[in-house]
Amino acid sequence: MTLVIAALVFWLAMWWVNQRLVAIDTGFNHGLAKSINFAVPLIFGITLFVIWELVVRGLEIPFVLLPPPSMIGARIISSLPILWADFQQTFLKAVLAGYILGCGSGFIVALLIDRSSFLQRGLMPLGNFVSALPIVGVAPIMVMWFGFDWQSKAAVVVIMTFFPMLVNTVQGLAAANHMERDLMNTYAASWWQTLTKLRLPAAAPFIFNALKINSTLALIGAIVAEFFGTPIVGMGFRISTEVGRMNVDMVWAEIAVAALAGSAFYGSVALAERAVTFWHPSIRASRN
Amino acid sequence: MMTKDGKTIPVLTIVMVIIAIWYACVVWMNAPFEYDKAERAKIEPPVFSELVSKTMTQDRPVLPAPHQVAQEIYKTTVLKNVTSKRSLIYHSWITLSATILGFIIGTALGIALAVGIVHNKAMDKSVMPWVITSQTIPILAIAPMIIVVLNAAGISGLLPKALISTYLSFFPVVVGMVKGLRSPDTAQLDLMHTYNASTSQTFWKLRWPSSMPYLFTSLKIAVAISLVGAIVGEMPTGAVAGLGARLLAGSYYGQTIQIWSALFMAAALAAVLVMLVGWAHTYVLKRMAEKPEGVIA
C-alpha cells in the first residue's frame, strides 16, 4: 500500500513540476523554451513508468497480467540475441522490402495515371475505399500463396501500403496551382520538366504524409501476418507463442522492440521530410 | 482536374477490369492443381475450355472465382438462420458490436483528452507527444496478449476486443479534435472575450460547434480502424466467433472461399460504417447551418 501512495505522491509532484515548467515565461530565450518542450514530455513519460512499476508491485498484480517495467528491461537485456533475430526477420526483411515495394509501386502507378483523367476518376474513389478496408485480412491468403517465410509478410505490407501512397501522390500531383502551372507553360516546359521542377516538389508533403502513415501500417501488417504461420523466428511468431506459454515478460520485451522500431522508422521518415520539404509552412513554423 | 460528376463510368469500368483480371488469374492460378490432378489420374491434361470451367468449380481453389465468393456469401447470409454459427451475419454482428463499443469508448476518450489538451498547457506539452508515440507502437501486435491476459483475469467476450478498437480509434479523434477545438481564430475568441463569456460558454458556443467538421473527418478514420482492431482481436481467442475468427479458421483448414467471403463481408461492413458516419456528418452540418447562431464551417 505504501508503494501505491508513493506512486500517487510522485505523480502529484511531477504534475506540479510540469505545471511550473510550462508556466515559465521564456521570452526570447529559445534555448530555454526548447529544453522545456523537451523536458515536459520526458518527465511525463518517466512518471508513467514509475507509477506503473510502483502500482504493479504495490498492489501485487500477478506478473502474468502486467509485469513491472524493470522486469521487462531485464528480459530485454538477457534475451538480446533472440530479439535481434526476430527484428531481422520481421523488420529488416518483411517490413522494409514490403514498404519499399508498396510505396514505390503506389508512386509509379500514380505517375502513370497522371495523364489520364479517366483512370484517375476511376481509381481515386476505389483507392479511398480500399484505404478504409481491413486489408490485414488478406494475410491468410498471402501466407497461402507465398509460403511461410518473409515473402508473404512483405506481400501483405505491399498491399497495405500501396493505396495510401497512390491516393496521396495523386492528390499531391494536383496540389500545384494554376498560376504556377501556367508559368511553367509559358516557359515551354515539357510534362517531364513540369513534373520534376514543380509538381513533384509541390507533392512532397502529400507523399511524405503517405510515407509516415505507411511506416506504422507496414509494421502492423508484417506482425499480424505472422500470426497466420511463420518459420520459428519473427516478432509476431514470438508474441503469439510466448503468450501461449504465459511468458508475458518476453512478449512485453518484443513489444518494446516493436515500439522502438516503429518510432525510429516514423522518426527517420519525419526527419527526411524536414530535410526535403524545408519550405513548407508547417515546418518553417516549428523551426523558429 | 477531377470533377465531381462523371465518376460512375470510370469507377465501373475499372471495377469491370479488375473482375476480368480476377477471372484470368483464377484460371492461371488454379490450373496447376488441375494439371497435377490429371497427371496423377494418368489422364490427358484438360483442354482449355474444360480447364476454365474446372478451375472455377474447385472446392479449395488457390484463388476462388468472384461468383464462387458471391455464392458463398449468399449461402451464408440469406439461406442460413441468423443465429446459426455458420451464418456470416451472426459473425458480422459479433464483430460489429465489438467495433461499435470500441468506437464509442475511443471517441469519448479522444474527445476528453482533446478538451484537456486544449485547456491545459501542461497536458498539451506532456500528453500530446505520448499520444503520437502511442500510435507508433503496432498495437495490433499486442492484441493477442491483451485478449489472453484479460481472459486470464476473467474478462472475456466483447470488452477485450473493444479495448483494442478503443486504442486504435482514440488517436485520430484526439488529433482531429485538438485541431478542431483550436480552429476558431483570434477574432472569434476575442469576441467571446468581449461578451465576458466563461470558458465553458466559449467551449459550448464557439469551440465545440467549430470543431464538428474536424470531428467527423476523424470519426470516419476511427470507425474504419476500429473494425480492423476488432477483427484482429478475434484472431487469438481460438477462433470462436466473429469475422476475424472466420479468417483464421479458414486459413487453418485451407477454406479459401470462406476467407474471401469473410473478407468481403468485412469490406461491406467498413463501407457501411464509413457511410453512416458520412451521413451523420452531412446531417449535423446541415442542422448547424440552419441555426442563425450556428457556426458555419
The grid cell for B52 is 476454365
Of the candidates A19, A215, A240, which has its C-beta nearest B236's C-beta?
Answer: A240
Do the Cβ atoms of B10 and A236 come within 8 Å? no
Claim to verify: residue A24 and residue A153 sit in the same structural domain: no
pLDDT (tens, 9 = 90+) of chain B, 297 residues, equals 444 557 788 888 888 888 888 888 888 888 888 788 788 877 777 777 777 777 777 777 878 888 888 888 888 777 777 677 777 888 888 889 889 999 999 999 999 999 988 888 777 777 777 777 777 666 776 776 777 777 777 777 778 888 888 888 888 888 888 888 888 888 888 999 899 988 888 888 888 888 888 888 888 888 988 888 888 887 765 557 788 888 877 777 778 888 888 888 888 888 889 889 889 988 888 887 755 444 444
Average pLDDT over residues A193-221: 87
Torsional sign, CA A54, A55, A58, A62: negative
Closest residue in chain A to residue B11, using alpha carbons only: A122
Claim to verify: residue A114 and residue A208 sit in the same structural domain: yes
Most confident of A114-128, A265-279, B125-139, B190-204: B190-204
Question: ipTM of the assembly?
Answer: 0.71
Of the candidates A36, A41, A119, which has its C-beta nearest B129's C-beta?
Answer: A41
Query: Does A136 contact B at CB distance below 8 Å?
Result: yes
Claim to verify: residue A197 and residue A224 sit in the same structural domain: yes
Q: Which residues of B touch A125 (CB under 8 A)?
A: 7, 11
Of the candidates A40, A125, A244, which has its C-beta nearest B126's C-beta?
Answer: A40
Distance between CA A142 and CA A191 in Å, rounded? Answer: 38
Do the Cβ atoms of B141 and A224 come within 8 Å? yes
Which pLDDT score is estimated for B297?
40
Confidence of residue A282 (pLDDT cuts 50, 70, 90): low
Measured between its terminal Cα atoms, the distance across chain B in Å is: 25
Average pLDDT over residues A47-73: 83
Least confident among A16-20, A23-27, B28-32, B164-168 = A23-27
Distance between CA B86 and CA A18 in Å, rounded? Answer: 55
More confident: B155 or A99: A99
Confidence of residue A287 (pLDDT cuts 50, 70, 90): low
Which pLDDT score is estimated for A102?
93
Query: Which one of A43, A52, A133 makes the best mutation probe of the B interface by having the most chain B beta carbons within 10 Å?
Result: A133
Q: Which residues have C-beta within 8 Å of that of residue B259, sequence separation ≥ 6? A: A137, A140, A141, B246, B247, B250, B251
Establish if A48 belongs to a structural domain: yes
Which of A171, A161, A269 is closest to A212 using CA atoms? A269
Claim to verify: residue A183 and residue A275 sit in the same structural domain: yes
Claim to verify: residue A111 and residue A242 sit in the same structural domain: yes
Claim to verify: residue A140 and residue A33 sit in the same structural domain: no
Query: Which one of B145, B252, B265 makes the best mutation probe of the A interface by having the most chain A beta carbons within 10 Å?
Result: B145
Average pLDDT over residues A108-133: 83
Predicted TM-score of the model (pTM)? 0.78
Of the candidates A41, A124, A129, which has its C-beta nearest B271's C-beta?
Answer: A129
Which pLDDT score is estimated for B141?
67
Claim to verify: residue A27 and residue A99 sit in the same structural domain: no
Q: What are the angstrom distances between the C-alpha of A236 and each of A251, B52, B62, B66, B143? A: 10, 38, 25, 31, 11
Establish if A250 belongs to a structural domain: yes
Torsional sign, CA A231, B234, B148, A52: positive
The residue segments making up the domain with residue A191 are: 75-287
In CATH, what number does B88-290 get? Answer: 1.10.3720.10
Structural domain tally of chain A? 2
Of the candidates B125, B140, B153, which has its C-beta nearest A37's C-beta?
Answer: B125
Which pLDDT score is estimated for A131?
76
CATH code: domain of residue A156: 1.10.3720.10
Distance between CA A219 and CA A266 in Å, rounded? Answer: 11
Claim to verify: residue A35 and residue A155 sit in the same structural domain: no
CB interface of A with B, residues 17-46, below 8 Å: 18-19, 21-23, 36-37, 40-41, 43-45
Which pLDDT score is estimated for B13?
86
Establish if A69 belongs to a structural domain: no
CB interface of B with A, residues 119-158, below 8 Å: 121-122, 125-130, 133, 135-142, 144-145, 148-149, 152-153
Query: What residue ranges do the domains of chain B occupy?
Result: 8-61, 88-290
Q: Which residues of A touch B247 (CB under 8 A)?
A: 137, 139-140
Which pLDDT score is estimated for A206?
86
Establish if A160 belongs to a structural domain: yes
Residue type for position B67 = H
Distance between CA B230 and CA B192 in Å, rounded? Answer: 42
